[in-house]
Amino acid sequence: MTVGSGQYQFGPFRLDPEAGILYRGVEPTMLGQRAVALLRRLLENAGVPVSKDALVEAAWRGLAVADNNLTVQIAALRRVLADSVDGESWIETLPRRGYRYVGPTVTTLVSDASAADRAASAPSLPEKPSVAVLPFSNLSGDPEQEYFADGMVDDIITGLARINWLFVIAQNSTLAYKGRAVDVKQVGRELGVRYVIEGSVRKAGGRIRVTGQMVDALSGAHVWAERYDRSSGDIFALQDEIAQSAVGAIAPSMRKAEIERVRRKRPDSLDAYDLVLRAQPDVDSGMPEQVTRALTLLDRAIALEPAYALAHGNAAMCHHCLFLRAGLQEVNRAASIRHARSAMVHGQDDALALTWAGFSIGMDAHDRAAAFTALEAALAISPSSALTYILGSVILGWGGEAERAIEWSEQGMRLSPFDSWIWAAFDAQAMGHLLRGRYEEACRAAYKSVQTNPAHSITYVQLAGALAKLGRIDEAKAAAARVLELQPAFRYGRQFAGVNCAPSLAEVLGGALRDAGLPE
């Protein structure tokens, strides 16, 4: 078997840190990404104590977290290792110091893939000019300003992505490089882009300084570099200026009218903008407790800026989550549709707002034709919008359009290979393969969905169904138990009704979930 460089073999387990998966034999385990990061650090230092601070840095990358977060992840890791004799004792607790790996000998596996093989597996450069904007460094000395720097990059990416001849990698993929010293040529190879933009943001008082540079990832040559000093009141104009400069560096002959398309409508209030940025991680979680917290911020943003399309789109997504995962209350369904319609009215030039709105209209109003009108409008604005393809693939999956769901999911993953929503693309693939009777493929896609978002109940629904179809009933029941742990009120019949599941899929998936022990 060919394995990737830097994998670790110990006992019956193999850790592939690049893929973020721990295997027992040939089967992937249900281990989350933070636990995988902790295990990697412990295996790298096998037999040597690793401090709590070093482990927190490995798994949370600079975030301030309570000690119990580390304890919970170590406990999850031990539960998985406990499948082997004495496996629960392989990670030793060192009181007040940290932890140490004391299990079987760790062997580092070296790839036998040639450089040519690796080059062949890398994404090929698209025909269009292609660009990735890496996370800008926050030089403000204030951790609270991280969201501001991330939002700055997001707006540059969104502006660039509105140009229909430009291939732009989504921010959720480039976030994988946050806080890392990077080799621009390697980034270009990994993401399949010709140009890479990097920079920094320094915000102090009422002033802001942004530096940026664009590098040709093939040659390493600098294409563009600039520094901007502005008052923070000019932030939106500054973002437009940076995007315009980037586009001009890629295609100097581009007409002024094309540059104007980089601009997008902004809310008048920076406070509303801040609130949406702060709410976004909780919106993306897709689970009730977090989206309830997000709605508090989004409601404030909408009160400040009633026509803020992106705030309405995010609010629609939150109410969609509450409808499906907090009791199928009509009040949430109605709110999802209401906010989605507001997003479409006010966001005709905002691809992301149209994407959120289209998803809610398709899933909650059960109007898939209207949903794809919104999604196609989003793609007309931003052809590189990975999220549009990913959420569209989910609508197609539940609608029983198996092959089209797989096609859209694959396109979304190509545009944003490290996307935080990639689990939803794998879910759509699992549904498509299940409907076509390709149960092994469905199981693989479902495992990947679980791996990328182990805290979301629907990922385990797809896994339970696929495992049941393969006759692996004990494993299917374990996945079903995880569904009910995350969403105690889950009933697959109500889920199907809530999303207007296609009868063909409901028949196949419903029978599998019944075999897995999930209540109807």
The CATH number for 12's domain is 1.10.10.10
User: Cα–Cα distance between 24 and 29 in angstroms, integer?
Assistant: 7
Mean pLDDT along residues 495-501? 90
Which pLDDT value is given to residue 320? 92
Pairing of strands 167-168, 195-204: unpaired
The CATH number linked to 319 is: 1.25.40
Residues 129 and 183 in one domain: yes
Same domain, 143 and 227: yes
High-pLDDT (> 90) share of the chain, %: 33
Number of domains in the chain: 3
Residue 411 lies in a domain: no
Asked if 239 and 156 touch (Cβ cutoff 8 Å), the reply is yes
Is the per-residue pLDDT at 397 higher than 80? yes
pLDDT score for 263: 35
Residue 204 falls within a domain, yes or no? yes
| 280 in the same domain as 230 | no
Name the more confident of 111 and 312.
312
Q: What is the pLDDT of residues 265-286, one digit of tens each?
A: 344 445 676 677 778 778 888 8
Pairing of strands 195-204, 137-138: parallel
> What single string gives the DSSP state of each residue in 419-485?
-TTHHHHHHHHHHHHHHTT-HHHHHHHHHHHHHH-TT-HHHHHHHHHHHHHTT-HHHHHHHHHHHHH
For residues 271 and 316, state if they share a domain: yes
Q: Which domain-ending residue is among 67, 84, 109?
A: 109
pLDDT, mean of residues 290-317: 91
Nearest to 377 by CA among 343, 338, 428: 343
- State the average pLDDT over residues 303-322: 92
pTM above 0.85, yes or no: no
CA distance 384 to 397: 21
Under DSSP, the state recorded for 84 is S
Tokens (6 digits) for 250 = 């890629």
CB neighbours (10 Å) of residue 485? 11
3-state secondary structure of 200: strand
The answer to whether residues 132 and 256 belong to one domain is: yes
Q: Is residue 348 within 8 Å of 377, Cβ to Cβ?
A: yes
Do 129 and 195 meet the contact criterion of CB atoms below 8 Å apart?
yes
Locus of tokens 């209401």? 338
- Same domain for 101 and 130, yes or no, is no
Q: Within a domain: residue 98? A: yes
Residue 500 carries which DSSP code?
T
Tell me, letter by letter, the H, E, C secondary structure of 327-392: CCCHHHHHHHHHHHHHHHHHCCCCHHHHHHHHHHHHHCCCCHHHHHHHHHHHHHHCCCCHHHHHHH
Contacts of 108 (CB under 8 A, 6+ apart): 6, 7, 8, 9
CATH number for the domain spanning 232: value is 3.40.50.10610
Cα(273)–Cα(300) distance, rounded to whole angstroms? 11
Which residues are within 8 A (CB) of 134 and not within 5 positions of it... i.e. 6 or more apart?
153, 174, 177, 182, 187, 196, 197, 198
Least reliable range by pLDDT among 121-130, 143-152, 382-391: 121-130
Query: For residues 500 and 63, what is the distance between their CA atoms, to the nearest angstrom?
Result: 40
- CA 2/CA 162 separation, integer angstroms: 40
pLDDT tens digits along 218-249: 777 777 777 777 777 766 666 666 665 554 44
Span 412-440, average pLDDT: 88
> Residue 233 is which amino acid?
G
Q: What is the arithmetic mean of pLDDT over 153-172? A: 74
pLDDT of residue 5: 46
Q: What is the average per-residue pLDDT within 149-156?
A: 76
Is residue 142 a part of any domain in this protein? yes
255 and 272 assigned to the same domain: no
- Which of 330, 357, 384 terminates a domain? The answer is 357
Least-confidence region, from 113-117, 154-158, 310-314, 458-462: 113-117
Between 512 and 147, residue with greater pLDDT: 512
- Domain assignment present for residue 445? The answer is no
Q: Residue 105's domain spans which residues?
A: 7-109
If asked whether residues 131 and 221 sit together in one domain, one would say: yes
What six digits make up the tokens of 232?
């923070």
Task: Please tell me whether residues 50 and 131 are part of one structural domain.
Answer: no
Q: What would the pLDDT profile of 11-52 be if each residue is shown by its tens digit?
A: 888 888 776 788 888 777 777 778 888 999 999 888 888 888
Q: Does the structure show a pLDDT above 80 at 166?
A: no
Residue 239 lies in a domain: yes
Q: Choose one of 109, 140, 163: the last residue of a domain.
A: 109
**Dist CA 294 CA 305 (whole Å):** 16
- Altogether, the residues listed in the chain come to a count of 520
Question: In the structure, what pLDDT confidence band is assigned to residue 415 with cuts at 50, 70 and 90?
Answer: confident
Compute the average pLDDT of residues 1-18. 71
In a domain, 419, yes or no: no
Q: Are residues 141 and 247 in the same domain?
A: yes
CB of 108 closer than 8 Å to CB of 6: yes
Note whether 139 and 255 are same-domain residues: yes
Domain identity same for 246 and 144: yes
The identity of residue 198, as a single letter, is E
* Separation CA 398–CA 428 (nearest Å): 8
Kindly tell me if the per-residue pLDDT of 465 is higher than 80. Answer: yes
Q: What is the mean pLDDT of the chain?
A: 81
Give Cα separations from 349 to 3, 158, 262, 312, 353 (angstroms).
Answer: 46, 11, 11, 14, 9
Residue 370 is assigned to a structural domain of this protein: no
Q: Could you give the CA distance from residue 417 to residue 413 in angstroms, rounded to a whole number?
A: 5
